[in-house]
Amino acid sequence: ALEQKGPLGTFVLDLRGNTGGLLSSAIEVANFFLPKGTTLLSTKGNSIVRQPVNGNTVETEERDEVYVAQRPPLISPNTKVVVLVNGETASAAEIVAGAIQDHDRGVVVGERTYGKGLVQMFTKLDDESQIKLTVAKYYTPSGRCIQNKVYRTDKEVNGRASEQVISQSEKKTFKTDRGRTVSDAGGIEPDLVVPGRKVGNLEQQLLGKNAFMLYAGQWEANHANDGLKLAKAKERVVTDAVYEDFMAWAKTNLARGDKGDKEPFSGAFDSMEKTLKESGYGGAVDQLTALRMRMTEIIDSEFKSDKDQLKKQLELAIRSRYVPRGEVLAAFLDEDQQLQQATRFSMEESRYAKSLFPEPGIPSPVLSSAAQEFQSYHTPSK
C-alpha cells in the first residue's frame, strides 16, 4: 500500500521520544526495511527457568537468542531511509535504529539515543511480591551493546552496587556491513548529528506535571458544543486569550503538591516557611519571601520568552483530544528543524550515499538480497 503509486523517494522514520515497547513490534518494524533472514538483534544472558518454591530462590540458565527478519521487506531498497532519534529514543526503538544502521540500510539523524539495552522480567517471590530481574542484554547485528550504564559493587562504599555511566575508555568499536565504524555502550550515535530544540526550564516543569494535557481536558469540558469544530479548523485554537487563561490556570492549580523546591509550582515555599517558623528561625522568612517573589518574576519572564513553544505544546494537547496526534503533529512539520535538515540531507544524493558507503567498492549483501526479495515479493504473478 505504501508504494502503490511507485517507489518512495525517502522514508523518514521518526523515533524521537519513543521510549520503546514490545520486542516483537521492534522486529516487525525493522523487517520493513531488511530482507528475510537478516539478523536484527541478539540477546545474551540468562533466562528464568524455575520460579521460587521453597525460599526466595530463582534458578536461571544461560540463554543466547538471535532474532532474524521473517519476511521480505515492505520498503523498496531503492528508497532512501532516514531515522530520526534523540535522547529519549530508548530500548526497542534503539533496536530498530541499530539494525538499520548496522546493515547500512539508512542514515540515523539527530542526537545520541538513551542507551537502554537491558532485557528485564518480573518474577514472583513466595510472599506474592515481585522483583524485576535483568536477565540479558540486547546486541545490535554488528555485536554492540547499547546499554550506557553498568552496575558495579564499590568495595569502598559499604560494598553496595552503584549505577555508573560507561566511560569512553571502556567503549569498543564495531563495523557495519560496509565497513563503517560504530561504537557501543552509550546508545546509538547518529550518522548525522543535528541538535534538537532546547527545552526551557518552565516547559520541562509543565510537561513533568502534565499541565498541557490537564488544561486540555478542562478546555474540552468548557467547549462541549464547539470544541470539535475549533480543533478541526485551520486557525490555531490557542489564541493569546487562551494562553493567558492557561498561564493563570497553571499558576493557581499547579501550586498544589509538595515535590520539592526544584519545581516552581510545588508549594515548597509554603512548606519551608512553616518549617522556619516552627524551628525558631522566623527571622529568615523575609529572605524567603524575597526569593519567592524572585521566582515569580523568573516564571513570568519564561512564560513570555517561551510563549511560542508553550502555545505549540498547548495546541498539540488540545487538538489531540479530538483528532489523532499524528495529524496534529503533521501541521507543525515546517517548524521541525531536525526533520527539515534530515529531509534536505536525503535529497542530496552524493552526500547521502557517501555517509552510507564511504568506500563504494564494498558490496552490501543485505541490500542485494533486499532488492531481489522485494522485486520477487511485490511482482504480481502472471
Q: Hey, which residues does 192 pair with through a beta bridge?
A: 109
Contact 310, 203 (CB under 8 A): yes
Is the pTM higher than 0.85?
no
Residue 84 has pLDDT above 80, yes or no: yes
Residue 347 has pLDDT above 70, yes or no: yes
Rounded CA gap, 322 and 220, in Å?
9
The pLDDT of 196-203, averaged and rounded, is: 90
Mode of pairing for the β-strands spanning 39-50 and 59-68: antiparallel
Tally DSSP H helices, then E strands, for the chain: 13, 12
pLDDT band, residue 162 (cuts 50/70/90): low
pLDDT averaged over every residue in the chain: 85
Residue 117, Cβ density class (10 Å: 0-12 exposed, 13-18 middle, ≥19 buried): buried
Task: Quote the cell numbers at residue 186.
Answer: 552509550
Coil, helix or strand for 149? strand
Give the lowest-confidence range in 49-53, 291-295, 352-356: 49-53
